[in-house]
Amino acid sequence: METQKSLSPLATSLILLLGLIWGGTFPAARVVLQELGPLTIVGHRTFWAALLLWGFVALRRVQIPRSPRIWVALGVMGVLNNVMPFSLTFWAQQHIEASLTAILNGATAIFGVLMAAIFLSDERLTLRKLAGIATGFLGVATVIGLEHLRAFDLRSAGQLAVLGAALCYALAGVWARKHLAEVPLSVAAAGMLTAAACVMLPTAWMTEGAPTFVLSPTTLALLAYIAIPGTGLAFLLYYKVLSLAGSGNLLLVTLVVPVVAIILSTLFLGETLTPNAFAGFGLLALGLAILDGRILRRLALRV
């Protein structure tokens, strides 16, 4: 199990930048969905981001693995980490607010700890982790609300789809730990996005029609934002933060993303959330803070 690293000013700045970039993708996707189908957006997102990352790999002259086993593992990673969660999230955003999507996406970290404990021998469920997971899931339940599960509709399905995406991300993290640990991070990101694009481009064409660039300037700009900084650059930042600050500190990104999405969605989309959503986000944030452990350690030192 990795020991949590201290946060340098550079790592803190990159975490905030990553949270700003990812937080902006949720309201951006809500706008793009007015002209494009969710699968077509995923096709664009994965294709252009893959091109950017392969350019980075070539520029840095990173060695590309030749083992068929590695490429099969990258293919599975592309499905788990890109095809399924991106598709579920964009489909969900047709039926729920961008800010609500970002809040529910925060369950990724909760699922991640749980899946790691189930599938990885070096990760154990301590009492602190159990408390964090329980608090986080209570937050998710509060966000969704029991009334939406009793009267199941497309809004309920959208919220559950985002949770399904969060579970996919968590399983992808486990898969990467087990099968891609020796692959350079930039190659892993480029490879999985390439695999995802190979799946999504024909799938989107068959289900939503041939791709078109006859779109409004706003849609084109936001689509470019989702694919280039929102995916390609974001993965490079993610792995940089991982190397500087460790996986434990990456939990902090999960707290920044919903805040950014809520602010942007309120300002530019006129979205409003229910008190349940804010209360649930508070509980989810508390669960993440418990998993992080830093606040608890500081409180213990003061006692």
- The DSSP-derived string for 174-202 is HHHHHH-TTS-HHHHHHHHHHHHHHHHHH
Position 303 scores a pLDDT of 47
Structure tokens given for 293: 């452990």
Nearest alpha carbon to residue 176 among 78, 286, 47: 78
Position 124 scores a pLDDT of 87
Model pTM above 0.75: yes
Asked whether the beta carbons of 158 and 96 are under 8 A apart, the reply is: yes
Position 121 scores a pLDDT of 86
Position 229 scores a pLDDT of 97
Position 200 scores a pLDDT of 98
Structure tokens given for 104: 């529910």
Backbone φ and ψ for 68, nearest 5 degrees, come out as -60, -30
Backbone φ and ψ for 51, nearest 5 degrees, come out as -60, -45
Question: Whole-angstrom Cα distance, residue 194 to residue 188?
Answer: 10
Per run of 10 residues, the mean pLDDT along the chain (length 303 residues) is 66 93 98 98 98 97 94 97 98 97 95 93 89 94 77 88 96 94 94 98 96 94 98 93 78 90 96 93 93 68 52
DSSP SS3 for 290: helix
User: For residue 170, what are the CA distances in angstroms to 41, 111, 173, 176, 237?
Assistant: 22, 6, 5, 10, 19
Structure tokens given for 249: 């500190």
Position 262 scores a pLDDT of 96
Question: Whole-angstrom Cα distance, residue 96 to residue 86?
Answer: 15
